[in-house]
Structure 1
Amino acid sequence: MRIFVVFRLFLPLVMLIKKSDGISSHIQPFAEYDHSIELQTNVADLWWTVDDIERAILFELHVKTTGWIALGISPAGGMKGADIGVGWIDQSGNVHFQSGTNIVIFAFGLVDPDICRFDGDISYHDNRRGSQMIPLRFYANPPIDEKFAGLDSFEFRMNNYRVPSNETTYYCKVFKIPIDYPTKKHAIAYKVLINPDNRDLVHHFTLSECDPSTTFNDANLPEGVCDDVVQSVKMCTMDTVVGWATGGQDIVEYPEEAGYAIGGELAIKYYMIEMHYDNPNLASNRIDSSGIQFYIGKQLRPYDLGRIIFGTLSTPFDLAIPPQVNRFIVDCYCPPSVTQNFPESGITVVLAFPHTHLQGL
């Protein structure tokens, strides 16, 4: 697939125009694009469109600087192995461009390189850089909020959590379902609530049911860095209800025949969010209240949604990859006891959440 890049620099003293949500550039893009994202607040914005017929991707990058800017596609978020393009406009108005996964990296400088000087190469960008996992392809057309207007709903969210300036943080928080439904209800859709300013931090999260036999103090529900509260939340880690990662849809609607059952005589009262924050730039003083919202249907549907989880636990005993191997396949098997309750007609899979972090299939 071919990749085309349109670079633009923008200055703060320009006419304000209508812009997309989360976009800070005051300059209108050259063309209409299918997708856009703010890479760095008030500094860098990216637009792109995937053309499957021409097998090409057109990017447009806006960066608030008067020097050079760069955009690349990286296999792991760094410069090694990345395909990078660098562009700038010199003092005479001449345009220069040098070409050097789905992880987009970008950088910029404060001055243009002087290619006439012996030492006029592009200077090091210091901390004027960033990377972000972006799904360049979108395979579904999610519904809009207005479709669920008027429905009852509830949500689970982080409570102004101050994300540590560590590269990786797993934070666990237990919730009690906020509404006590006397009869069974069906959740028919959910919406992922990621703080707009923290799209670069929230890598993925899971929402799990807590074992019905577990009791908690409702006035002091467990929360904290997952490794620190592992004993308190160990009964809330296995039965995953929802999984979301970068690239997933923000709104998911269940099929019209089925819903996620809550309330009534069901014993599930507590849930836990395990939130993975990815902070490669070691940003500090970032406050997050991301989470999830469920929409409750007005009528019960014919079927309750079920879940099946299979794979390999990420422990040294279960998943050990030998060093210096180019290819390593991990096999996992489901014993007959897992599928013994399946109907003879089989099951219908309506959602899937494959997840192997940065690499794997």
Structure 2
Amino acid sequence: MIQMAAETRGWVSLGLSPGGKVTGADLITGWVDGAGQGHIRDQHGTQGDVIETDDHSDWVLLSAVENETHTVLVVSRQLNTCDVHDLPFLDTIKRIIYAYSQEDPTNVSTITYSNQGVKNGSRYLSFLLGDPGEVRGASVWSLNFNHTLGKKSRRITWCKIEKFPQAAEKEEDRVHYIGFDFHHGENSEVHLKHVAIYECAGDANSWTYHQERARLDHYSSQKGHACYSHDTPSDYSKCNLNVILWTPRTKGVREPEHVGVPLLSNDGSPSYFMVEAQYENSNSMPNVNVQWKMDVYYTRTLRQYESGILKVGSTLNFAMLIPPGQKTWKIAGHCPDGCLNEAVPNSGIKVYQVLLHAHSLGTAMRIRHFRDGEELQPIITDDYYDTNFQPILSLSEERTVLPTDHLTTECVYDSSSRQNSTFSGYGDADEACLAYLFYYPRVSLAECSSVTHHDVIKAEFHTGELEDEENLLLQSPLLEPINPRLPRKGDVFFQDYINALNWSEFDMRNIQEDLYRGPHVTRCLLTAGIPAQVSKTTAEFPEAYEYEELEGQCPSILQRESTSNSQVTRTSRCVLLTTLLFHTIMILLLWL
């Protein structure tokens, strides 16, 4: 049920549009005529931004009111109508468009978003993501940040160590994180792209543990460092266990009532966290001050389960590449059973939320789930991925992942605007294919990913003539404890070598299939960046029956019309009561 209100006595229109354009949008337009009668039209946008009326209307007009200044319409529709011209309401729909005119339409064909005098626009919005709600009875850990971007800081990721304000001296001191609220400050809505908070884990039995803690305490009093640079202290690499993730246009997040995240070390020593904030200054403005605040909520009333975040997808290294000029290019990253077996209990883990993450080329993402020779329903699918709006998505039903399962994160990219190949990384011209699984009970596994084997890259692009070509499997010289020499031939490094290729000489379909379906090298990390001792270091697509949507998930119009009389009567009563309620509310509002 949606209320549409505009400062007009003419028509008003609203549309679901993954690309923010009229073409391909699912639209509803309504108005109130001179006699006070409300009208609506179920419409869709076609090529050239032409608006056409659907053959069948799936919207119901519940209320239509017009006063001296405003038009207010209340309408309802099924979340999924199964109409070919309608888009289903999903939590992955992120863009709406709107328009309104000061005049009622002379006929339906005169409705357009582009005529002179028509006000229009678009914004990011998901109808199914509600307000996070107020947090009661919790303590607050407020993190305040102020960072100045230089003229050359087109995109920079800044890391700062923070010390939790208390320690667990005894068992009853333990606390659970249960959510956060985010507050924008100066310039942050424009320049802040993401925030991730990682726990700085460590082995309390290690003889270097106390020295590491002392260094982290020292870092917590400093302003921080550029992440993943030569100047980044090596201790930062031990902060790899995700605790909190913030993405643009997220007001706040709440953990389910049965789930919490431990924030204090069990050994009684202080807990440290690395706050990673990514900023963008695409217009190269000098001395841009960016301020923001995060209120982290925690409680001593411990939840039933302790949760964690598992990163799955394509490993960030040079073997992940996207050729230029490709309208549709797929990347896969595997989390095989060989990695899950290292930490997941026999009863499995329960996934309850997911964050999908790619950069500007990403157009679609999904997490495929394989078990015992069959592909199960995807954990989540986003056919309208948009890097500018990356909400944390709650699953309608928690999904069990067993240690013998296989997860594959798939990403689709559009590189038709690029002249050079795109590689994985953190820069504004780089890409990523990652998913963050929020799950319980918490285990020691932090990352489970893969990337195309370097032997496949060598065979496809003849990189065997490069020196140190096996170093493709390193994330980058800045992310590893050592500083290896990257693959090169003389002064020509791997990326330059790839960008010098004449892509017209390649069979792109075969290359896509080989890189996508071929063997991968896995990366399996436990907390504190410790590699897991896996028995298999390579992975491929499982030989499984591909999951297919069940027939009958979209009942036809005839099936809807054959609903029993009792159901029709109940539906009619609900619509009637709702209509009367909204009419009463609208009359009161207009009278006031």
Q: TM range, normalised to the smaller chain?
A: 0.5 to 0.7
Please tell me whether residue 142 in structure 1 is matched to residue 128 in structure 2: no
> TM-score, structure 2 length as denominator?
0.38
SS at match of 1:292: strand
Which protein has greater RCO, CA pairs closer than 8 Å, 6+ apart? 1
SS at match of 2:312: coil
Matched residue, 1:169: 156
More helix by share: 2
SS at match of 2:237: helix
Give the drift of 1:2: 4.1
Greater displacement, 296-305 / 176-185: 176-185
Distance 2:313 2:274 in 1: 21
Amino acid at match of 1:351: Q
Amino acid at match of 1:169: I
Matched residue, 1:224: 225
Within the candidate set 178, 181, 189, 1:188 is matched to 178
Contact 1:142-1:252 at 8 Å conserved across structures = no
SS at match of 2:358: coil
Matched residue, 1:272: 274
**Cα 1:136–1:51, aligned 2, differ >3 Å: closer, same or farther?**
farther
SS at match of 1:200: helix
Give the drift of 1:346: 2.5
Give the drift of 1:332: 1.9
Distance 1:237 1:85 in 2: 49
> TM-score, structure 1 length as denominator?
0.60
Aligned length: 259
Matched residue, 2:254: 253
Matched residue, 1:287: 289
**Cα 1:256–1:198, aligned 2, differ >3 Å: closer, same or farther?**
same
SS at match of 2:179: strand
Contact 1:244-1:353 at 8 Å conserved across structures = no
Matched residue, 2:98: 59
Amino acid at match of 1:327: T
Please tell me whether residue 304 in structure 1 is matched to residue 330 in structure 2: no
Greater displacement, 264-273 / 199-208: 264-273
Amino acid at match of 2:322: I
Give the drift of 1:309: 1.2
Amino acid at match of 1:155: S
Contact 1:258-1:303 at 8 Å conserved across structures = yes
Distance 2:258 2:240 in 1: 26
CA displacement 1:56-76 (0-9 Å, x = unmatched): 945369xxxxxxxxxxxxxxx
SS at match of 1:330: strand
**Cα 1:59–1:196, aligned 2, differ >3 Å: closer, same or farther?**
farther
Matched residue, 1:178: 165
Instruction: State the Cα RMSD in Å.
Output: 3.8
Contact 1:210-1:268 at 8 Å conserved across structures = no
Distance 1:167 1:31 in 2: 44
Give the drift of 1:338: 2.9
Please tell me whether residue 244 in structure 1 is matched to residue 277 in structure 2: no
CA displacement 1:160-212 (0-9 Å, x = unmatched): 21123333222121111122343211112222233264211111121111232
**Cα 1:321–1:233, aligned 2, differ >3 Å: closer, same or farther?**
farther
**Alignment gaps of 5+ in structure 1:** 6-28, 34-49, 62-83, 89-94, 106-133
**Cα 1:292–1:322, aligned 2, differ >3 Å: closer, same or farther?**
same
SS at match of 2:333: coil
Give the drift of 1:337: 4.3
Contact 2:175-2:264 at 8 Å conserved across structures = yes
Contact 1:210-1:239 at 8 Å conserved across structures = yes
Contact 1:209-1:272 at 8 Å conserved across structures = yes
SS at match of 1:299: coil
Distance 1:31 1:349 in 2: 44
**Cα 1:233–1:191, aligned 2, differ >3 Å: closer, same or farther?**
farther
SS at match of 1:331: strand
**Cα 1:264–1:312, aligned 2, differ >3 Å: closer, same or farther?**
closer
Give the drift of 1:254: 0.8
Distance 2:287 2:71 in 1: 36
Give the drift of 1:354: 1.0
SS at match of 1:338: helix
**Cα 1:299–1:288, aligned 2, differ >3 Å: closer, same or farther?**
same
Distance 1:309 1:96 in 2: 46
SS at match of 1:272: strand
Structure with higher Rg: it is 2
Matched residue, 2:562: none
SS at match of 2:339: helix
Amino acid at match of 2:244: V
Amino acid at match of 1:153: V
Amino acid at match of 2:200: C
Distance 1:251 1:31 in 2: 32
Within the candidate set 199, 215, 220, 2:189 is matched to 199
1:72-221 alignment runs, 5 A limit: 95=117, 135-145=124-134, 147-148=135-136, 150-158=137-145, 160-165=146-151, 166-182=153-169, 183-195=173-185, 197-212=187-202, 213=209, 214=212, 215-216=215-216, 217=218, 220-221=221-222
Give the drift of 1:85: 6.7
Contact 2:181-2:252 at 8 Å conserved across structures = yes
Contact 1:222-1:232 at 8 Å conserved across structures = no
CA displacement 1:126-152 (0-9 Å, x = unmatched): xxxxxxxx533243213333x33x421
